[in-house]
Amino acid sequence: MRRHLPPEPVSRAAIWSRRLGLLAAAAAALIVALARLHKLDAGAALACFGVVIAVALGAVFLFSVACVSIWRWGGRGVGAAIYGFLFAALTLAWPSYLAVEALRLPVLSDISTDVDDPPDFSHSHQALKARGGYSPPNPTAAERSEQAAAYPDVKPVVIDVDLDEAVALALKAAAARGWRVVEQRPASARSGDAHIDFLDRTLILGTDEDVAVRVRPLAGQTRIDVRAASRHGRHDFGFNARRIKQFGEELQTQEEQR
């Protein structure tokens, strides 16, 4: 008479690791989709992401428990545990990158090419309406000092064209970066500076970020200063400095192609 061995038990930790990992990945994708479609505001999206991160960390913990359990006592569920870990790792990749940048960089959310006299954001009715009534506060003296130390390569762009052509090049560079014009102000009689306000979108959630560009005439040249500010949170994780440098590179490309 043949004896049948009972099947090996499946690790419950492995099963729940897969479930939580899949739940975290699906929830993260849904949050991103709703935020980019403007069905979920940024504050709610970030709060939901906090819950998703906790769920993903739970999946990683259960993966560890399952690995130890299967190694010591045997059983099935290795595949389920690995799937749970992979789903969780996918969900945690972006938050982990932000955590590293938060530790590496100072707590700043407003960056400018001119720390002593940053470009102003417009307070006109048109600009405030486009920004939903929001007006970025001016950085403090301490924040300006921190920026100068952290981002010494964030500098204005000086090009050998007149003011009108510089404004046109700035608009082309902004369009190439996907920025939307909020308001364009011609050169004022008092300062001679022209100003343009823009909106940019964040990479993942697609939330609005504010950018101001000041175009100032010099002797035979034009200086272009940029200020970029994040609306949510005290830390921009270096994205505003990167945004400004990428705009400067695009501006120089546009000048070379004119």
Helical pair 42-73 and 78-104, crossing angle rounded to 10 deg? 130
Which tens digit of pLDDT belongs to each residue from 44-103? 999 999 999 999 999 999 999 999 998 888 778 899 999 999 999 999 999 999 999 999
Which residues are within 8 A (CB) of 50 and not within 5 positions of it... i.e. 6 or more apart? none
Look at residue 9 and tell me whether its pLDDT is greater than 80. no
What gap in Å lies between CA 163 and CA 172, rounded to an integer?
14
What average pLDDT does range 195-218 have in this prediction?
95
Model confidence, pTM: 0.87
CATH of 110-257, one of 2.102.10.10, 1.20.120.160, 1.10.8.590, 3.30.310.80: 3.30.310.80
Report how far apart, in Å, the C-alpha atoms of 197 and of each of 61, 78, 102, 131 are.
46, 54, 27, 10
Sign of CA dihedral 49, 55, 59, 62: positive
pLDDT in tens, 95-141: 999 999 999 999 999 999 999 999 999 999 999 998 988 889 999 99
Contact predicate 111/227, CB 8 Å: yes
